[in-house]
Amino acid sequence: MAGRLQDKVVLITGASRGVGEACALACAREGAHLALAAKTVEPNAKLPGTLLDVKARVEALGRRAIAIQTDVRFEEQVDAMVEETVRTFGRLDALINNAGAISWGSVADWTAKRFDLVVGVNVRAAFLASRAAIPHLRKQGGHVVMMSPPINPKAAAGKAPYLTSKIGMTLLAQAIDEEEEDVHACALWPVTAVKTAATVNLGMAGDDQMRTPEVLADATLELLAQDPKKAKFRAWLDEEVLRELAGVTDLGRYDCVPGSTPEPLSIALVDPDWRRV
């Protein structure tokens, strides 16, 4: 039985672990071929998981995959990433801008170097990848998914430089969706903390307050399964996607600790008046 993404080609940045890996496996199970991009090819004791590990897992599911070592801060590498994807598979159906850098702190305490890193890996890289991908996505109708939040002014304190870079991604998605007739773009963000190497290192929450990366992967899959010519921009929360598009109301399957009740992040507590950008 064919999957919902049968023989489509999905390019994922930040695909060596965490949410990127989970998205790759979810798409592969639905029949997609994967272009996997990230910096990590060699094993690193501090950051488990490499592109080659994920590539092997995708291939074990019977799908084709390529690993493209890419530092998304550099325009020429991002352009080459898209070109290699299309050269290998002959098409591109979806881009998931998942690569990200996270750091919190007050405006007064941020250095220019840290600001440039976060902006470069988040909004600038998403812009570069989307710009390179759009001409190919137009050909059969495609998707761009930004891992970025709805606007929530109440969440700015202590996170403003980081959120500036992430909300910029959401604005890019809105622009792409309105500018491109055959390309659908949207944003996706978790309601609760998701357990990844970055969130663990940041000490965001204990396991009982986290969900697995599969919650975002399953939501991403539902977004990609939509008809790109009919879907409209929205800054989604993962719970909204699963409830409205998949009919999932019990999210306990995603809890890192079975039976726990993870609390929503302040970033996700969006005032209804700010639901859409």
Active site residues: 162
Burial track 67-91 (b if 16+ CB lie within 10 A, e otherwise): bbbbbbbeeebbebbbebbbeebeb
> Which amino acid is it at 116?
D
Residue 245 class from Cβ within 10 Å (0-12 exposed, 13-18 middle, 19+ buried)? middle
CA distance 39 to 14: 8
Q: Identify the CA nearest to 212 among candidates 146, 256, 162.
A: 256
CA torsion 65-71-74-75 (nearest 10°) is 10
Q: Identify the CA nearest to 35 among candidates 142, 112, 174, 118.
A: 142
CA distance 160 to 168: 12
Cross-strand partners of 66: 35
CA distance 78 to 125: 8
In 164-272, which ranges are E strands?
A: 183-189, 193-194, 210-211, 235-237
Question: Token pair of 149, please?
Answer: 């939040």
DSSP, res 124:
I
